[in-house]
Structures are given as C-alpha cells and as structure tokens.
Amino acid sequence: MARVTLENLCKIYPNGFVSVRDVSLIINDGEFFTFHGPHGCGKSAILRMIGGLEEITSGKIYFNEDLVNDMLPPNRPLAMAFQNYVLYSHFNVYDNISLGLRLRNISKQIIEDRVNEAAEFLGVSHILSEKVKKLSPNARQKVALCRALVCRPAVLLVDEDFAQQDTNCRKEMIADIRKINKQLGITILYVTNDYHEAITVGDRVAFMVEGKIVKVECATLIP
C-alpha cells in the first residue's frame, strides 16, 4: 500500500491568500488519518494537492519513496471520493463502476471480476443493472466508492462534502470507509470540520488553523 509524506508543503493562491503554510507530516501505510479544522483552514487544499488537483506552490509529496509533485492524477496510486463525484444517470450501476477501467482498456474479464468484487464488498451486487437515476443518495454514494475501489488504490482521499445529504447517509459512508481501511488495508485521508467525527472515525487526527497543523493526536475510535 502506501505511506504518504508531506515535506514543507505550501499553497499560495494568485490573489496572495496563503491556504497551506509549511506543513510536514508522515501518514503511515494503512492508517486512517483525519484532517480537522474550520472552513478555509487548508485541509481540503492539502487533499487536493495530494490528489494532483491543486498545483503545489512549494514543498514535496511522497508516496512511499516516490516523489509525486509532477505526476498526473491518473498516474498516482490513489482514488478520490469528493462531493463532485460524477455518476452518469443514463448508465446502469455496472457501467458507472467499470467506466474508469474501460477507459484504460483493461480486459473485460478483469473488469467484471473487479466490479463484482467491489459490489459484493459494499453490498450493491443486487443493483448492478439498475439505472443510477433510480438510486437513493446512499446507494449512489456506495456506487461512487465502488468505482474508486476497482482501481485498486493504495490511498483513498475522502472530502467532508462527499456525504452531505443527511446524517444517516454520512454514518453509512463512514462505516464503509472504515471497512475499506480495516479490511482492505487502504490508507485513508479524510477531511472534516466536525470535531466529534474527527476524534472518533480514524487512527490519528491533525488539527488545523489558518493553514498550519497545530497538533496531531491519536483518535478515540468508537465502534
């Protein structure tokens, strides 16, 4: 899997706003790591830089020993679960989950095996032939996670806005990413502005204020 290392990471926008200030951190292989802080503190910017969606102003990001600063997002060993995940309503669930693999020209049998494996893992095997537009928000969320899993990521990035529909949907999402972390060993990086959530969902939590990490503590996992 992957250890994620941040060295003196900074993000400054063209208007001069400093979003991330000299952040250095090691996230261990297989860890469930949470970033917590108020809106605008830089936690989502860190995730986006790790994912390759934001340009790094200065500093370095490593996956294990590999520097990924200039690596394109599709070439990074990760998957993302952000608010703007795109599911195509005119496709069925199977086609949505398999889309990324089909674009990479992976063989039909491997695609079928991976889709079925991910669908069984997250309990959506029974809806593979359903059109996405007919699904509940909770089911759509699981389909988006399945699509991430079939890429066999070493790291999964989860933004706080991925599950904003309702409390039950959010609880289900957290249960799913815990399962992904514990049973598959995938390193999870999770962003939230909810304090109780931050101190209970994972292994460690970084508390951020104005672009800086002010402390890192072990979380108290509640089953």
pLDDT 10s digits, 171-187: 888 999 999 999 999 99
Strand order in the sheet with 204-209: 78-81, 155-158, 187-192, 32-36, 204-209, 212-218
| pTM score over 0.75 | yes
Distances in Å between the Cα of 100 and the Cα atoms of 118, 136, 195, 211 are 14, 22, 34, 33
End-to-end, the C-alpha distance of the chain in Å comes to 24
Q: pLDDT tens digits for the chain (223 residues)?
A: 689 999 999 999 999 999 999 999 999 999 999 999 998 899 999 999 999 999 999 999 999 999 999 999 989 999 988 866 678 888 999 999 998 898 888 899 999 999 999 999 999 999 999 999 899 888 988 999 999 999 999 999 998 777 666 777 888 889 999 999 999 999 999 999 889 989 999 999 999 999 999 999 998 755 5
Exposed, middle or buried by CB within 10 Å (0-12, 13-18, 19+), for 40? middle
CA distances, 171 to each of 17, 83, 92, 116, 174 (Å): 34, 16, 25, 24, 5
What is the distance between the alpha carbons of residues 62 and 56, in angstroms, rounded to a whole number? 13
Task: Return residue ranges of the chain for CATH 3.40.50.300.
Answer: 1-77+153-223
DSSP 26-72: EE-TT-EEEEE-STTSSHHHHHHHHHTSS--SEEEEEETTEE-TT--
Beta strand 78-81 with 66-67 is unpaired
CATH architecture for the domain at 1-77+153-223:
3-Layer(aba) Sandwich (3.40)
Contact by Cβ (8 Å): 27, 218: no
